[in-house]
């Protein structure tokens, strides 16, 4: 079995190779059903969502022109926080996955869309679409699993530095957009040697990130606050207006970062989600790739509003199975996917947001400490299949 589990009890030991390939065929059938009806309904949905988000952002920024008044500051900050979350999660993330490329609209296309996030879209698509979704929960290959700064599995060697990982994770959550930009750049690896630091490709990508961050900061922390000054003058407090609007933008960015980080942690870190040995994906078939997505992801249960605010990453399992299908379709296919889990006696990991966040953080704290007992050795005796690239 190429999707080798890092557990004492293998949750897929009861599946034969034919079972796994049949799972793949049944998931392909679900995908084909959505592709057959994908069209105008999906196009209307994303256009409507973009319009709502832009109205909310413009309205909130207009209210924040009066940020010198506490009620306006509170209302504007809440509205801007929600607008930034929608832009990042339900709009930017999903457009950049190519979910709406079928529309052939040059303004809503994965090759042209740029989002309100420190990581340039081009770099994020490489690290996320091409690497994370290919190597989902493979320790040492998937940067979304611990963001390259945390111990994420008992079989990883513990070091005293891991004691600080709850703090590292909290800081990363607050500054999440910059953390994403840093590991898209593979910053630690590329700054480690003079040769890598001077690599023309790395330096070009570093400049691209620098320009993106500069433009964001000018918009949120200079231009928008400056527009508040005339109103502040009318109230006799121009400095209060400027810094009040600046603070509102900072709060909105931190709220968006904390929310995005929490949603992603819920998708890959709670109890019941599996991790995989680096060598276990050698020769992985399409069915085995699907199975790894099923076992390496977790959902968040909740209302329709919750699903929208998470960019439908509350259906992380469905997203990892079908990353390029319109995310608004995940809710309708989730019962079919869950039924497939039950049919093949696999655990469909899901739970309320608070429960999943608590579970993920509990794992962060637990793995910050040395193992209570020696980690179980990985069974390398299971022969891999002949090398073959997954077709997903």
Q: If you write DSSP's letter for every residue of 64-86 in order, what string do you get?
A: GGGTTSHHHHHHHHHHHHHHHHH
Provide the residue count of the chain.
392
Instruction: Tell me: pLDDT of 213 over 60.
Output: yes
Which of 221-230, 266-275, 322-331 comes out lowest in average pLDDT? 266-275
What pLDDT is stored for residue 192 in this prediction?
Answer: 85
Model confidence band, residue 350 (pLDDT cutoffs 50, 70, 90): very high
The domains of the chain are located at 17-367
CA–CA dist 168, 254 (Å, integer):
16
31-47 pLDDT, tens digit each: 999 999 999 999 999 99
Instruction: Tell me: pLDDT of 1 over 50.
Output: no
- Name the token pair of 217: 């900061």
Model confidence band, residue 391 (pLDDT cutoffs 50, 70, 90): very low
Which of 208-212, 215-219, 370-374 comes out lowest in average pLDDT? 370-374
Model confidence band, residue 156 (pLDDT cutoffs 50, 70, 90): confident
What pLDDT is stored for residue 279 in this prediction?
Answer: 75
- For residue 269, what are the contacts with CB-CB under 8 A and spacing of at least 6? 145, 152, 298, 359, 360, 363, 364
Angle between helices 353-367 and 238-268 in degrees, nearest 10: 80
What pLDDT is stored for residue 212 in this prediction?
Answer: 96
Share of the chain above pLDDT 90, in %: 76
What pLDDT is stored for residue 8 in this prediction?
Answer: 66
Q: What is the mean pLDDT of residues 160-184?
A: 93
- Name the token pair of 331: 């809710």
- For residue 212, what are the contacts with CB-CB under 8 A and spacing of at least 6? 118, 119, 120, 181
Q: Read off the DSSP letter of residue 327.
A: G
Instruction: Name the CA dihedral angle for 72, 74, 80, 83, rounded to a multiple of 10 degrees.
Output: -110
Q: Read off the DSSP letter of residue 157.
A: P
39-77 pLDDT, tens digit each: 999 999 999 999 999 999 999 999 999 999 999 999 999
| pTM > 0.95: yes or no | no
99-146 pLDDT, tens digit each: 999 999 999 999 999 999 999 999 999 989 988 888 888 877 777 676
């Amino acid at each position: 079995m190429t999707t080798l589990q890092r557990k004492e009890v293998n949750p897929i030991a009861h599946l034969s190779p034919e079972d796994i390939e049949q799972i793949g065929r049944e998931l392909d059938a679900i995908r084909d059903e959505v592709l057959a009806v994908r069209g105008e309904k999906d196009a209307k949905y994303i256009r409507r969502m973009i319009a709502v988000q832009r109205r909310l952002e413009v309205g909130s920024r207009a209210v924040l022109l009066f940020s010198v008044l506490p009620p306006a500051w509170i209302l504007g900050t809440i509205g801007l926080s929600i607008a930034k979350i929608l832009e990042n999660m339900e709009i930017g993330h999903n457009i950049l996955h190519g979910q709406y490329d079928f529309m052939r609209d040059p303004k809503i296309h994965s090759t042209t869309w740029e989002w309100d996030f420190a990581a340039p879209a081009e770099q994020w698509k490489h690290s996320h679409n091409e690497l994370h979704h290919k190597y989902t929960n493979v320790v040492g290959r998937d940067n979304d699993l611990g963001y390259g700064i945390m111990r994420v599995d008992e079989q990883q060697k513990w070091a005293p530095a891991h004691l600080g990982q709850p703090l590292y994770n909290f800081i990363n959550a607050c500054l999440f957009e910059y953390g994403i930009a840093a590991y898209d750049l593979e910053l630690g690896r590329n700054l480690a040697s003079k040769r890598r630091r001077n690599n023309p490709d790395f330096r070009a990508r570093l400049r691209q990130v620098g320009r993106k961050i500069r433009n964001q900061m000018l918009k949120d922390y200079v231009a928008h606050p400056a527009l508040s000054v005339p109103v502040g003058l009318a109230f006799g407090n121009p400095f209060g207006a400027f810094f009040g609007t600046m603070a509102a933008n900072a709060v909105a960015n931190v709220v968006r970062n904390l929310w995005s980080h929490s949603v992603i942690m819920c998708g890959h870190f709670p109890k019941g989600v599996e991790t995989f040995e680096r060598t276990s994906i050698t020769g992985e078939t399409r069915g085995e790739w699907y199975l790894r997505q099923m076992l390496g992801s977790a959902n968040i249960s909740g209302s329709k509003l919750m699903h929208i605010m998470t960019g439908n990453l509350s259906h992380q399992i469905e997203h990892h199975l079908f990353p390029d299908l319109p995310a608004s379709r995940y809710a309708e296919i989730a019962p079919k996917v869950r039924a497939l889990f039950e049919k093949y006696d696999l655990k469909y990991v899901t739970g309320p947001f608070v429960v999943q966040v608590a579970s993920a953080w509990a794992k962060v704290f637990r793995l910050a400490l040395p193992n209570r007992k020696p980690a179980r050795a990985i069974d390398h005796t299971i022969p891999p299949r002949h090398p073959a690239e997954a077709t997903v």
